[in-house]
Structure formats: structure tokens, C-alpha cells
Amino acid sequence: MTSIGIGLIGTGFMGECHALAFRAAPAVFRTRLGARLEMVADIDAGAAQRAADRFGFARATGDWQALVADPKVDLVAITSPNLLHKPMALAALKAGKHVYCEKPLALTAADAAEMAAAAAQAGVTTMVGYNYLRSPAVSFARQLIRDGAIGRVTYFRGVSDEDYMADPAVPMSWRCRRDQAGSGALGDIGSHILSVALALVGPITEVSADQRTVIAERPLPAAGEGRERRDGAAAVTTETATVENEDQTHALLRFADGIIGTVATSRVAWGRKNHLAFEVFGTDGAILFDQERMNELQLHQPGAAPGDRNGFRTVLTGPAHPHYGAFSPAAGHGLGFNDLKVIEVAQLLEAIAGGPAAYPDFAAAAALEKVSEAIGRSATERRWAGVVG
């Protein structure tokens, strides 16, 4: 099997996910193209070496530019903090590499557009890590909608709620700084539900949004704001800093064709761990989904049974649904979060090998950032904002 050389930047939560996914994807999906684990880069060279040892990469480096320049690296996977996505991606594109970048693509829509333009010019394959699009149930929902299984879509209601910053004791981090993270909940987790809205329903043309920072000040962490601890148990100082971006965003949406909807996102929603959920209503049915129960989907079709026997069907995913069969021939056995990254990587490898185009690529992700930018603008100006085409 022909293979391409993988260069992975970043060794945090997402870096580990990518590493595992590159190891597993070719075997699980029998992709035409294999993945050679060439190099890991991390600003902490020791962390890079430990990751290389653990996941079987040939080499490690503390210098991401060396990775990008390495002739054996064909594909650069970027899992660094959001701020660095742009310089890394532009460098990789300039070097003619395929680029796989974690979301959000960039801190601003303008940056994202610049990156998309560079990708177009480079003529390589790009992919952005909106991993929930890979959930078999989400892919199936997309397919159902495309096939008209619920008629014409009339309403989309999407939520992406977590509670990872609900505790006021969770310290200040780069996530709360505008120059390092851009928006708060919106870019971090809200962008996921936007990716679903766009994939399932189509382009968004106008938004009316509002935002709020619930916890205005957070304690400074004892050891600086570098690597965050997602469990919030970090030691803190008695000093505090002002949170610069929002804890909650919500917006009314207008899609093409008069379809309306909402998205809402919060990083302070107590009790929610990964509540990426949506309801899509159509003229002939409805679909409900919650990523916390990612292996099922609720489907209602009014004509599917006599009225007294009808209702939402709890469809358990199985090999009849997208992607699932590569993991197991038995329905109801279930996929997990890491499997979504395996699917994503397999789609990326297939795209590079000449298969279906990767989605969302930089262009699609830049379009999403335009919606995100319009949401921010609408919230600031407190009026409807058009998505700048």
C-alpha cells in the first residue's frame, strides 16, 4: 500500500486523537493510501519525543517549522492552540503539504479566508476537524435530509453545551483571551453545531445574535496559562484576570429558502458534558440527535405507521449507517469519540488518494467562520447581520 508521511503538530488531547486515528484509519477503513508516522512536533521537545515513542512516530522535534519543511512529511496535522493554526497552515501550504487542521480554522473570518485562498492556490487537500460530522448518526441525518426523508426542512434547532468552565474556580486560560482564542464558547464548541447546521441544512444568510460572559473574572493559574487542565483542578493564585470573551452565544438563523433556526452554545451549562444536540423539522418528518447518546437518532415520519402506532423511532446505529460497518458488523455495539477521528482521517486519506473531496475543507471552514463572524458582529451591533459572502 502506498503511504504518505504524517507530520503531527501538538500533543495535547487532540494531538493524541490524531495520532491514534492515523494509526488506526488505514486498517479500519482499508484506505487506498496508508499513513507513515513521520514526525511529531511540540513546543516542548520532550513532550514531542514522548508522543513519538508512544504512538510510533519515527522522529520528534521542538520546532514545528522543521516538521513542515521535512521532505518526508506529506501531510501536516495541526492540533496546536487556535492562535497558531494560521501561521502553521500557511507555512505547510506554502511547502506544498496537505493540511489537516483542528477547528476553528482561525481566530477571524479574514484569517480563515486567507488560509482558504492559500489552500486553493496550493492545490492540495485540506480538511478541518469538525469531527461530529463523522458521527454515523449525524451523517445518516444528513443523508436522510438529502433524500427527502423528512420533506423540505422547515426548522433547525442546534445546541452545543458543555460545563467545562461552569465552575468559577476554573482558572483563566488562553481560551478566555480574545487575542489567543478569538471568541469564547462560540469558536470552541459552538463552531461544532454551526458545522452541523451548514452540513445538514445549507448556507446561512443572516443572523441575529446575543452573547454573555457569565463569569467575568477568573483566578490566574499557579503555573501560568500554558497547558490547561480540562478537569479544572489546576492550582490557582489569589490574583484574577478579566475573561475577554463570551461564555454563552445564541443566534437566530436564516438559511436559504426561508428556512429558519437557532444555534446556542455555552461553556457554563452545568451538567452538560458534550451536549451537541439538534432537532430538524421538515414538512414530512423530524430528526432529533444528541451527541451524548451518539449511537442513536430519533426519527419521526408521519406516514410510517398508523397514527396510533406512530412516534419518534429510536434508531440505533449499525452497519447500515454511514461509516459504522468499518468498525463492526453488529448494530447497537456503538462507536466512541476517538472513532470519529478515525473516520475523519480515513476520509482525508481517501480524498488525497482521489476519492470523494474532503469536507469541510479550508473553503468550507472559512465559510463557517463568516457565519461565526456575523454572529459576533450581530451581537456587538445588536441587529441582524448578513453573512458576508
Q: How far apart are CA 41 and CA 132, in angstroms?
A: 26
The minimum distance between CB 229 and a copy of itself, in angstroms, equals: 8
Q: Give the residue with the Cβ less far from a copy of itself, 197 or 251.
A: 251
One of 36, 252, 353, 377 touching a copy of itself (CB under 8 A): 252
One of 203, 318, 355, 386 touching a copy of itself (CB under 8 A): 318
The minimum distance between CB 124 and a copy of itself, in angstroms, equals: 27
Subset of residues 323 to 352 that bind a copy of itself, contact rule: CB under 8 A: 327-339
One of 179, 308, 356, 389 touching a copy of itself (CB under 8 A): 308
For 82-88, the CB contacts below 8 A with 24+ separation are: 82/106, 82/107, 82/180, 82/181, 82/182, 82/187, 83/107, 83/174, 83/179, 83/180, 83/181, 85/115, 86/111, 86/114, 86/115, 88/9, 88/64
Phi, psi at residue 118, to the nearest 5°?
-65, -35
Subset of residues 180 to 209 that bind a copy of itself, contact rule: CB under 8 A: 208-209
Choices 178-186, 191-199, 247-255, 353-361; region in contact with a copy of itself by CB under 8 A: 247-255
Angle value at C-alpha 86, between 135 and 77, nearest 5 degrees: 45
Q: Give the residue with the Cβ less far from a copy of itself, 55 or 100.
A: 55
* Cα separations in angstroms, 12 against 80, 99, 154, 360: 8, 18, 40, 23
Choices 17-25, 81-89, 175-183, 347-355; region in contact with a copy of itself by CB under 8 A: 17-25
Q: Is 32 in the site for a copy of itself (CB under 8 A)?
A: no
The minimum distance between CB 34 and a copy of itself, in angstroms, equals: 10
The minimum distance between CB 121 and a copy of itself, in angstroms, equals: 36
Please report where in the chains the cell 473570518 appears, as a residue.
109
The minimum distance between CB 329 and a copy of itself, in angstroms, equals: 5
Choices 62-70, 92-100, 297-305, 358-366; region in contact with a copy of itself by CB under 8 A: 297-305
One of 2, 146, 179, 231 touching a copy of itself (CB under 8 A): 231
Q: Give the residue with the Cβ less far from a copy of itself, 327 or 362.
A: 327
Q: Evaluate whether 155 touches 263 at the Cβ level (below 8 Å).
A: no
Residues for the chain: how many in total? 389
- Burial label for 163, CB within 10 Å (0-12, 13-18, 19+), is middle
Subset of residues 267 to 296 that bind a copy of itself, contact rule: CB under 8 A: 268-275, 281-286, 291-296
Subset of residues 74 to 133 that bind a copy of itself, contact rule: CB under 8 A: none
What letter would DSSP give residue 189? I
Residue whose C-alpha is closest to residue 241's, from 222, 223, 213, 216: 216
83 three-state secondary structure: helix
Sorted by sequence, the CB contacts under 8 Å of residue 2 that are 6+ apart come out as: 32, 33, 34
Choices 58-66, 173-181, 218-226, 320-328; region in contact with a copy of itself by CB under 8 A: 320-328
Q: Give the residue with the Cβ less far from a copy of itself, 114 or 206.
A: 206
Subset of residues 37 to 76 that bind a copy of itself, contact rule: CB under 8 A: 53-56
The minimum distance between CB 292 and a copy of itself, in angstroms, equals: 5
Q: Give the residue with the Cβ less far from a copy of itself, 119 or 280.
A: 280
The minimum distance between CB 233 and a copy of itself, in angstroms, equals: 10
Choices 68-76, 102-110, 174-182, 242-250; region in contact with a copy of itself by CB under 8 A: 242-250
- Using CB under 8 A as the binding criterion, the count of chain residues that bind a copy of itself stands at 104
Angle value at C-alpha 270, between 185 and 155, nearest 5 degrees: 60
- Burial label for 1, CB within 10 Å (0-12, 13-18, 19+), is exposed
